C-alpha cells in the first residue's frame, strides 16, 4: 500500500528559487542543494549517526524500530506527519525553506519532480550503486531518475488492478472479468440490466490520479522535458480517447460519480450497489479493510486494456528522498535502502497482514505475499495479478514539476461533473494551469 492515494490534496506552491531556462528539462534539473559527497560516516567517537526521518505510511514506526534494533552505526529518529500536500508536503517544504528539514522523507513519485525542481532534495547518484538500482522495478527506477541523476529510492510500486464482486457478476451472467474496455462497458450494461441500482464502478471526481493512471496505460505522455523546455500534452490523442470513453460511461449512467473512500462509496460497496473497483495493488488491502463484511465475495483481475494485451499505469507509489541540506546523506541512503530492499524491512512494515503493498523490489514480493491473508478474496493469489501487472507498467511516463497545480485544476473541474461539467473541460483547465505555473516559475514551456 502506498503512503497515500493520489487523491491527497495538493496546494499550489511557487518555487523557492528561480530556475534558469537551461534547467527547465528533467535532464538539467541540477539546482538541487548540497551534494551527496558530504555524506556523513559513523562518528569517530564511536557514537552512531542519528538521522531524522519524516513519513506517514502505515508500519513506518515498526520499520524504524526494526532498523534501530539491528544497526549500531546509524539510528533513525522518526516523526509521523500527515499525508498530502496540505499536510505533510507543506510541512516538508516549509522546513526546507527554514533550513530544518529532516535528513530523509517520503514522497510520492508524482511529487518528487516538484521537490527536485525547487531544489529541496539532493542528487544521491554517487550513493546509489548499479547493484542497488538493479533490485528495483525498472519502471520505479525510471521515476526516481531525473535527467540521469538519482533523486530517490523507490519503496513500492502501484500497478493497476480491477477488483470485482464475483457473486454480482455471476448474477448478471458475467462469467469472467473484462479484458478490454469495450468488455468493461458491456459488463456495465449487463449489471445495470440485471439490477437497475447496480454499477460496475466509480469515477472519482476528487482523484485525478486514477484518470492519470488510465491515460498512462493508454500510452499518453503528459510531460516531457528536452532541450531546456517542458512540453505539456495533457490533451493528446491517447488522453482524449480515455476522456471520451469515461465521459460516455458517465453520461449513460453506467458508473457512479462519488468521492474516493467516501461514505457514499463505502455504503455502495457494502450494499452491493457497486460491483467493481478500478484501483491499484495497494487497493486490495484497502478494500479488505473498508468492507470486511463482504469477505469471500471479491476477486482481483488485470485492469482492462484497449486491445486486450497487458498494460498498466501506476496509481500511487512512494519513494525516499534526502533533503538538500542534510549532511548525513550516506546514513539516510543506508536506512532507505534497508527499508526498501531487505526482507526484514518489508516484514516490519506489513507484519499486520492487512496491507497488500507491492514492493518496488521484485525479490521482496514473496515476503509481502506471505504476509497477506487471502480469505477476503476467497483464497485467490492476488499477488500473481499484481506481479503480471507490474511487468506491464508502461515505461516513458514522466511526472511534471508542478503536479499540485495540474491536479488542483483538474480536480476542481472534475468536481462539477455531476452538475454538467465535462472531463474535457477539466483537461483544458489542467493544461492551462500547468502552463501558467511553469511560466510563473520561469520555465520554458511548449504545447
pLDDT value of position 225: 84
Mean pLDDT of 159-164: 98
pLDDT value of position 6: 35
Domains 21-158+316-372 and 160-314+398-446 share a fold: yes
pLDDT, averaged across the chain: 90
CATH H-level, domain 21-158+316-372: superfamily: Periplasmic binding protein-like II (3.40.190.10)
Distance CA 153, CA 264 (A): 36
Burial class of residue 175 (count of CB atoms within 10 Å of its CB; 0-12, 13-18, 19+): exposed
78 has a pLDDT exceeding 50: yes
CATH number of 160-314+398-446: 3.40.190.10
Mean pLDDT of 419-447: 95
Do residues 150 and 143 touch, judged by C-beta distance below 8 A? no
34 has a pLDDT exceeding 80: no
β-strand pairing of 145-146 with 49-55: unpaired
pLDDT tens digits along 418-432: 999 999 999 999 999
The pLDDT-based confidence of 186 (bands split at 50, 70, 90) is very high
Do residues 6 and 261 touch, judged by C-beta distance below 8 A? no
Q: What separation, in Å, do the N-terminal and C-terminal C-alpha atoms of the chain show?
A: 35
pLDDT value of position 71: 98
Note every long-range contact of 59-62, with CB atoms under 8 Å and residues 24 or more positions apart, other chains counting.
59/348, 59/349, 59/350, 59/351, 59/352, 59/355, 60/106, 60/349, 62/348, 62/349, 62/351
> What count of residues does the chain have?
447
29 has a pLDDT exceeding 50: no
Q: Which residue has the higher pLDDT, 18 or 123?
A: 123
For residue 204, report the phi and psi dihedrals to the nearest 5 degrees: -90, 110
58 has a pLDDT exceeding 80: yes
Do residues 278 and 254 touch, judged by C-beta distance below 8 A? no
The pLDDT-based confidence of 86 (bands split at 50, 70, 90) is low
Mean pLDDT of 161-183: 98
Mean pLDDT of 360-367: 97
Distance CA 83, CA 305 (A): 31
pLDDT value of position 220: 98
The pLDDT-based confidence of 45 (bands split at 50, 70, 90) is low
100 has a pLDDT exceeding 80: yes
104 has a pLDDT exceeding 90: yes
Domain limits of the chain? 21-158+316-372, 160-314+398-446
The 3-state secondary structure of 21-72, one letter per residue: HHHCCHHHCCCCCCCHHHCCCCCCCCCCEEEEEEECCCCHHHHHHHHHHHCC
Mean pLDDT of 30-39: 43
Distance CA 360, CA 109 (A): 12
The three cell numbers of residue 110 are 508524482
How many angstroms separate the Cα of 385 from the Cα of each of 306, 349, 358? 18, 21, 11
7 has a pLDDT exceeding 80: no
Amino acid at each position: 500500500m502506498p503512503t497515500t492515494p493520489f487523491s491527497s490534496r495538493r496546494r499550489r506552491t511557487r518555487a523557492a528559487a528561480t530556475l534558469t531556462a537551461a534547467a527547465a528539462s528533467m535532464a538539467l534539473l541540477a539546482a538541487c542543494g548540497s551534494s551527496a559527497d558530504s555524506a556523513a560516516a559513523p562518528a569517530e567517537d564511536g557514537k552512531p549517526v542519528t538521522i531524522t526521518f519524516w513519513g506517514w505510511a502505515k508500519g513506518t514506526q515498526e520499520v524504524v524500530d526494526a532498523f534501530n534494533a539491528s544497526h549500531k552505526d546509524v539510528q533513525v529518529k522518526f516523526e509521523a506527519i500527515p499525508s498530502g500536500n496540505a499536510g505533510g508536503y507543506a510541512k516538508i517544504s516549509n522546513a526546507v525553506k527554514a533550513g530544518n528539514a529532516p535528513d530523509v522523507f517520503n514522497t510520492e513519485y508524482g511529487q518528487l519532480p516538484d521537490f527536485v525542481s525547487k531544489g529541496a532534495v539532493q542528487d544521491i547518484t554517487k550513493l546509489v550503486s548499479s547493484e542497488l538500482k538493479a533490485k528495483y522495478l525498472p519502471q520505479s527506477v525510471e521515476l526516481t531518475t531525473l535527467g540521469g541523476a538519482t533523486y530517490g529510492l523507490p519503496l513500492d510500486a502501484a500497478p493497476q488492478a480491477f477488483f470485482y464482486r464475483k457473486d454480482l457478476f455471476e448474477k448478471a451472467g458475467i462469467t469472467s472479468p473484462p479484458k478490454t474496455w469495450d468488455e468493461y462497458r458491456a459488463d456495465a450494461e449487463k449489471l445495470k440490466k440485471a439490477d437497475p441500482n447496480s454499477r460496475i464502478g466509480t469515477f472519482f471526481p476528487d482523484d485525478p490520479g486514477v484518470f492519470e493512471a488510465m491515460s498512462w496505460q493508454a500510452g499518453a505522455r503528459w510531460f516531457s522535458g528536452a532541450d531546456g523546455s517542458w512540453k505539456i500534452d495533457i490533451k493528446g490523442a491517447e488522453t482524449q480517447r480515455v476522456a471520451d470513453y469515461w465521459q460516455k460511461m458517465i453520461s449513460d449512467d453506467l458508473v457512479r460519480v462519488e468521492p474516493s473512500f467516501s461514505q457514499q462509496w463505502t455504503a455502495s460497496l457494502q450494499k452491493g450497489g457497486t460491483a467493481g473497483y478500478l484501483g491499484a495493488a495497494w487497493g486490495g488491502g484497502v478494500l479488505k479493510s473498508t468492507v470486511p463484511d463482504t469477505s469471500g465475495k471479491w476477486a482481483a483481475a488485470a485492469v482492462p486494456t484497449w486491445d486486450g494485451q497487458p498494460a498498466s499505469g501506476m496509481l500511487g507509489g512512494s519513494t525516499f528522498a534526502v533533503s538538500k541540506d542534510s549532511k548525513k546523506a550516506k546514513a539516510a541512503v543506508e536506512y532507505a535502502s534497508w527499508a526498501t530492499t531487505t526482507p526484514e524491512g518489508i516484514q516490519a512494515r506489513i507484519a499486520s497482514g492487512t496491507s497488500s503493498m507491492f514492493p518496488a523490489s521484485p525479490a521482496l514480493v514473496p515476503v509481502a505475499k506471505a504476509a497477506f491473508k487471502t480469505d477476503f478474496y476467497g483464497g485467490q493469489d492476488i499477488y500473481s495479478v499484481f506481479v503480471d501487472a507490474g511487468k506491464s507498467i508502461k515505461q516513458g511516463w514522466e511526472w511534471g514539476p508542478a503536479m499540485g497545480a495540474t491536479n488542483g485544476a483538474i480536480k476542481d473541474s472534475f468536481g462539477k461533473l455531476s452538475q454538467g461539467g465535462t472531463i474535457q473541460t477539466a483537461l483544458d483547465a489542467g493544461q492551462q494551469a500547468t502552463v501558467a505555473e511553469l511560466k510563473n516559475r520561469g520555465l520554458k514551456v511548449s504545447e
